[in-house]
Amino acid sequence: MPIIIDGKKISDQIKLEIKKEIEEKNLKPGLAVVLVGEDTASRVYVRNKKLACEFVGIESHSFNLDASTTESELLDLIEKLNTDNKINGILIQLPLPKHIDKEKILNAINPEKDVDGFHPLNIGRLYTGHPGLVPCTPAGIMALLRAYDINIEGQHAVIVGRSNIVGKPISQMLLDAGATISICHSKTKDLGAIIRQADILVVAVGVAKLIKKSMIKKGAVIIDVGTNKDADGKLCGDVDFADVEDYCSAITPVPGGVGPMTIAMLMKNCMGSIKNKNVT
């Protein structure tokens, strides 16, 4: 049987550490969470983030805006939050309504308050090896690998998916940790042949049960970032867990694997922001 990588357990440990630090140092971090529109999934994500803030002691400032909010109005709000000393982190819940330019909005956030790690300056810092706020899901993956003492150095890590949110940043983080990297995507030829080389496999494409036992190397470590519904309407990942379970050495379940770590690392980024000398 493989090691089941328990993201909830590790995320709870991280949040407890943050809570303790806030209490011991009498810190007063503040996180602004901006939601535009009525997207049901986004509301669930925002609620979970607010609950995490409440637990660790970060003051959550909610801004629930109508779907008709203009780009200019949203930019004005971001500018106010950028200069508000009570706010250490700014999170714009995605997706945004189609009439709003996502890139323009994300670029308007003060990089030192960019707790999602999506600002080009923070991405540049990541790729050039400089400290900065990094995307939460990849940071959570790295924290899980460290927590379970999974060796990265010298391993072949294959990432399936090339998004700016997960695929690209996790490839850089694994590269920095000493892995050899292959990135696969929708145009990759003979996907299975490349995946079967993976000592560490990270899958983040949003296709239910895409990865089967026949596609992986025996003893591989599998990190499943996907969140999907299967034919029966049950939550599942991009990896067919039941099919690969007896063939890999360690695997993250869905739910309970990578998901909880994303919010834990958001809390950690908010703490990183309050410690930054550029934020008063």
Q: Which residues are catalytic?
A: 49, 93, 116
The strand pairing partners of 59, in sequence order, are 30
Question: Between helices 136-147 and 7-25, what is the axis angle to 10°?
Answer: 100
User: What does 75-100 look like in DSSP terms, one character per residue?
Assistant: HHHHHHHHT-TT--EEEEPSPPPTTS
Taking each helix axis from N to C end, the angle separating 167-176 and 120-127, rounded to the nearest 10 degrees, works out to 30
Q: Judge residue 234's burial from the number of C-beta atoms within 10 Å of its C-beta, 0-12 exposed, 13-18 middle, 19 or more buried.
A: exposed
Judge contact between 7 and 257, C-beta under 8 A: yes
Q: Which residue has the tokens 């909830």?
A: 8
Residues in contact with 139: Cβ distance below 8 Å, sequence separation at least 6, in sequence order: 117, 173, 261, 265, 268, 269
Angle at 75 between CA 74 and CA 80, to 5 degrees: 100
Maximum Cα–Cα distance for the chain, whole Å? 55
Cα 72–165–135 angle (5° rounding)? Answer: 90
Residues 6+ apart with CB under 8 A from 192: 214, 215
